[in-house]
Amino acid sequence: MEASYSSQQQSEENVNSPPIKDIGIRKFYQLIGEHLPESVGDTLTQETGDGPGKPVFGTLQAFVDVLENSLRDKELEIYQRGDCGRIGRRRTTLFRPDVAIFQRNYPLSQDEDKAFWGSIEMAIKYHSAKKTREQRLEQAADYVAYLLNARPDLISALGLLVEPDSLDFFFCNVGGIYKLSLSNKVEYMPLLSAVLRYLNGRQKKNLDPTLVRVQGSSLFDVSFPNASTSLGVTKGQATTYPACVLHYSHKPFRCRASILIYKPATDVTAIRVIKNQYIKKHRRWDEKQILAKIHANGPYPAVVRMCFADEIMQARCGDHVRVRICLQDYGTDFLSLKTPRDMIYALYDLLEVTRSLYSDRKILHRDISPWNIMIRSSEHTERIETCSTASPVFIRRLLDPQEPKHKSSIFLIDFGYGQDLDSPSPCDEQVGTPMFIARAVQAGEPLYANPFIYFPGLPPLSEDARAIYELNYPHRVKLFNGAFTPRFGPCENPAPPFRHKLAHDGESGIWTAIWWSIRASPEGGEEKPICMGHWHALMPKYDGPRTGLPDDDGRDCVLYPFVRAAKGILHPGYSDLVGLFQDIATAILPDYHWAADFTRQRPDFVHEILQRIILEFVIKNKDAPFMDKKKAQKNRKVEDRMNRYHVSTDESHCQRSSSIDSSVPSRGHKRKLDETSLDAVDAVSIVGGSVKDRCGRDDNPSGDAQRFVKKHCTDNSFLNVGIA
């Protein structure tokens, strides 16, 4: 579930709530901090069906009349669907509650592109005869979850389903959704009054005091009351960022990740990206530790910089505590790149920084995707001073010795799945984003080695390229010196227990570049749809529900046409890129676990061969017109599905929206920001029959596949797959 704040949302069929937990009336009163009235017994949960019952609220207006009478002399007002016209641009009823309660100080916006969900206190669903009882319950529960996403200042949220003969009360927090069904007026009327009192004033105890709504707007003031960092800020120094925009939020039942952006109008260097999430108390905060290690000796190039890190105990929820990171860097994602030159340079720099993180800091990212590779704007790039001991040399320095050594057009974000190879924790999780995850990671073992497997040699470098390489990477020239000629056939290496390798991060970068290139259509070019076969080969494939790692992987059916230099994969306007991807596909097709020689089994061999291929291509085509041919804003459609599929800039299949106007949440596939955001979607694995996510909560999985992790047993057999 996501609150992506976009005018384009996913359809209703993509919504999938977690199990709703039934509770008793006494428990519900406890959750809202009220005492059970003496006139009400400790009623057990009562389920109501679709059958006839004694009418209580026969019409929606009858219920609204009761609400209005109860809200007299309170600071709450009622919204009824139709009062404010359309809500955003939603065409489904999923995002449009029948009734909403809001505070007078935070009025609903009349502008269809502005906030709605972020302004309300409770959403109410009224009985619909066209839906089953189960569907009505699910939709009412979704409303509560949407509200929790749109209101990160709320620790928990309330909702209501009004049936003709009953009321269903909902309570939602990071632990899940809880429901109480009551059909006795003696019981539900006092509880309804208690809920309204709670919303009118007592809900203040349910607010995060470090995340405060700005009155009359959908902005938030965000503070770090106990900020700690390795970058020179004293522990305990309070820091506040006013008027932050809520840019993205998702998964209210697990880690409740949300991204807020502080963007002062007059100083772009002061932009900050603030990431919130919940973790279990006493659980190691991996991302904070990894970023601290990366930047321990000064800012490391091409990695997002951490300003503050804080544990917000004031917003604790049960056995969960809110953690908050303030990040210094800001940019757009990989898919925002406009030209082949930009894309190729970014790919090279990605390979360089992942390789250097491995050698300098013993860190693997493990979730490379287009939305974790951010493109830094030029005004930020020039002003970054980096650690002098860091080893990466990026492509602009290779092409121009006057450029700073550590100047990179990209920076990596989201180290939530990062692995510190110096830590005792095993690196045996299968983690990644479908379609970009390395094939061997998805399989959990080395790729199949047929008897005719082909291992390419190191590509020869032209005189100019070799001179550049020897000047900037003398140690690599010595390490990979010699004639590594092509070889056929696998050796008989035993298949080891699964572990994530540096080469896997490199392959994920290649899938990212392929995705950009297949979708790209040049400005002014004729419409040429994507081959349905290539599209289908790229898409994750599931035998059942779209949860866990995909069951099948057809991406070799994209690599083989590239190896054959097939022209139909890319738009004809970008056919000059086929030669580059021909060499790249040949390099990543085999699994070098089966290579007989030691050098090919080096952790950085795949990076070495890929970087040589790219450097040679760039030097050869440095002045070629196609390198600067801008792609159109709209991406290519898919053939034979022109009316059903449109691979457009909204990234509806696998990214988050870039718009920050509306605050209506949505669910669906993994979606990322155009702006910098540290995605905190946490992984889930099924261990011993229970689902355990990296936020530390035991629960059942929910929602569509986003990022996944699969753990292995000690006997190397697989456990069941959970979802993030």
Mean pLDDT, residues 373-392: 74
664 vs 104 pLDDT, higher one: 104
Mean pLDDT of the chain: 79
Nearest CA to 704 out of 643, 663, 664, 652 is that of 652
CB-based burial of residue 383 (10 Å sphere; 0-12 exposed, 13-18 middle, 19+ buried)?
exposed
Nearest CA to 1 out of 138, 162, 203, 127 is that of 138
Alpha-carbon gap, residue 698 to 18, rounded angstroms: 12
**Residue holding tokens 């022109």?**
642
pLDDT tens readout for residues 128-159:
999 999 999 999 999 999 899 899 999 999 99
**Residue holding tokens 């047993």?**
713
Residues 6 or more apart whose Cβ sits within 8 Å of residue 398 = 468, 469, 472, 615
Residues 6 or more apart whose Cβ sits within 8 Å of residue 109 = 84, 115, 116, 119, 218
Which strands sit side by side in the sheet containing 708-710, from one edge to the other? Answer: 430-432, 708-710, 722-723
Q: Evaluate whether 284 touches 178 at the Cβ level (below 8 Å).
A: no
b/e 419-429 (16+ beta carbons within 10 angstroms → b): bbeeeeeebbb
Q: Is the pLDDT of residue 563 over 60?
A: yes
**Residue holding tokens 């349905």?**
532
Number of other residues whose CB lies within 10 A of the CB of residue 205: 11
Task: Work out the percent of the chain whose per-residue pLDDT is above 90.
Answer: 48
pLDDT tens readout for residues 166-175:
999 999 999 8
- What DSSP element (H or E) covers 239? strand 237-250
Alpha-carbon gap, residue 460 to 708, rounded angstroms: 38
Nearest CA to 414 out of 672, 722, 603, 724 is that of 672
pLDDT tens readout for residues 596-614:
888 888 999 999 999 999 9
Task: Work out the percent of the chain whose per-residue pLDDT is above 70.
Answer: 76
Alpha-carbon gap, residue 297 to 425, rounded angstroms: 23
How far from each other are the two terminal CA atoms of the chain, in whole angstroms? 11
Q: Evaluate whether 168 touches 126 at the Cβ level (below 8 Å).
A: no
Q: Is the pLDDT of residue 236 over 60?
A: no
Q: 483 pLDDT band (50/70/90 cuts)?
A: low
Which strands sit side by side in the sheet containing 410-412, from one edge to the other? Answer: 331-333, 373-376, 410-412
- Helices 60-70 and 185-200: crossing angle, nearest 10°? 60
Alpha-carbon gap, residue 709 to 724, rounded angstroms: 7
**CA torsion, ordered 95, 99, 102, 107, to nearest 10 deg:** 70
**CA torsion, ordered 93, 194, 663, 306, to nearest 10 deg:** -140
Alpha-carbon gap, residue 149 to 256, rounded angstroms: 7
pLDDT tens readout for residues 242-275:
999 999 888 888 788 899 999 888 777 788 999 9
3-state secondary structure of 96: coil
Looking at residue 31, the DSSP 8-state letter turns out to be H
CA 368 to chain CA centroid, nearest Å: 11
The domain 2-206 is placed in CATH, from the list 1.20.58, 1.10.20, 3.30.1380, 3.90.1570, at: 3.90.1570
pLDDT tens readout for residues 639-653:
875 444 333 333 434
Alpha-carbon gap, residue 527 to 610, rounded angstroms: 31
The distance between the two most distant Cα atoms of the chain, rounded to a whole number of Å, is 91
Sign of the alpha-carbon torsion through 288, 293, 295, 300: negative
Q: How far from 103 is each of 108, 129, 138, 203, CA to CA, in Å?
A: 9, 30, 26, 12
Q: Evaluate whether 41 touches 55 at the Cβ level (below 8 Å).
A: no
For 53-192, list the strands marked E by DSSP.
76-80, 99-103, 120-126, 157-163, 166-173, 176-182
Q: How far from 665 is each of 7, 174, 676, CA to CA, in Å?
A: 10, 16, 19
Q: 695 pLDDT band (50/70/90 cuts)?
A: very low
Domain ranges of the chain: 2-206, 332-649
Alpha-carbon gap, residue 646 to 639, rounded angstroms: 10
Q: How far from 334 is each of 73, 197, 397, 452, 673, CA to CA, in Å?
A: 52, 48, 20, 36, 10
3-state secondary structure of 368: coil
Q: Evaluate whether 117 touches 142 at the Cβ level (below 8 Å).
A: no
Q: For position 249, what pLDDT does the model report?
A: 87
pLDDT tens readout for residues 52-92:
445 567 788 889 988 988 887 778 889 887 544 333 333 34
Alpha-carbon gap, residue 314 to 459, rounded angstroms: 57
Q: For position 382, what pLDDT does the model report?
A: 55
Return the amino acid letter for 418. G
Q: How far from 389 is each of 128, 298, 336, 608, CA to CA, in Å?
A: 65, 9, 31, 21
Q: Evaluate whether 229 touches 327 at the Cβ level (below 8 Å).
A: no
CA 177 to chain CA centroid, nearest Å: 22
b/e 55-93 (16+ beta carbons within 10 angstroms → b): ebbeebeebbeebeebbeeeebbebbeeebeebbebeee
Alpha-carbon gap, residue 191 to 11, rounded angstroms: 34
Query: What is the total residue count of the chain?
Result: 724
pLDDT tens readout for residues 569-595:
999 999 999 999 999 999 999 999 999
Alpha-carbon gap, residue 222 to 220, rounded angstroms: 6
Return the amino acid letter for 410. I
pLDDT tens readout for residues 188-214:
899 999 999 899 876 778 899 999 998
Enter the tokens of residue 417.
Answer: 């799945």
pLDDT tens readout for residues 279-297:
887 666 688 899 999 999 8
Alpha-carbon gap, residue 280 to 43, rounded angstroms: 32
Alpha-carbon gap, residue 368 to 324, rounded angstroms: 22
Mean pLDDT, residues 7-35: 70
Q: For position 392, what pLDDT does the model report?
A: 93
Q: Evaluate whether 267 touches 254 at the Cβ level (below 8 Å).
A: no
**Residue holding tokens 């955001």?**
677
Alpha-carbon gap, residue 538 to 558, rounded angstroms: 7
Q: For position 562, what pLDDT does the model report?
A: 98
Alpha-carbon gap, residue 716 to 497, rounded angstroms: 6
3-state secondary structure of 455: strand
- Does the pTM of the predicted model rise above 0.85? no
Residues 6 or more apart whose Cβ sits within 8 Å of residue 688 = none
Q: Evaluate whether 375 touches 334 at the Cβ level (below 8 Å).
A: yes
Q: How far from 358 is each of 169, 211, 306, 502, CA to CA, in Å?
A: 51, 36, 19, 7
pLDDT tens readout for residues 413-441:
999 889 999 988 776 789 899 999 999 99
Looking at residue 361, the DSSP 8-state letter turns out to be I
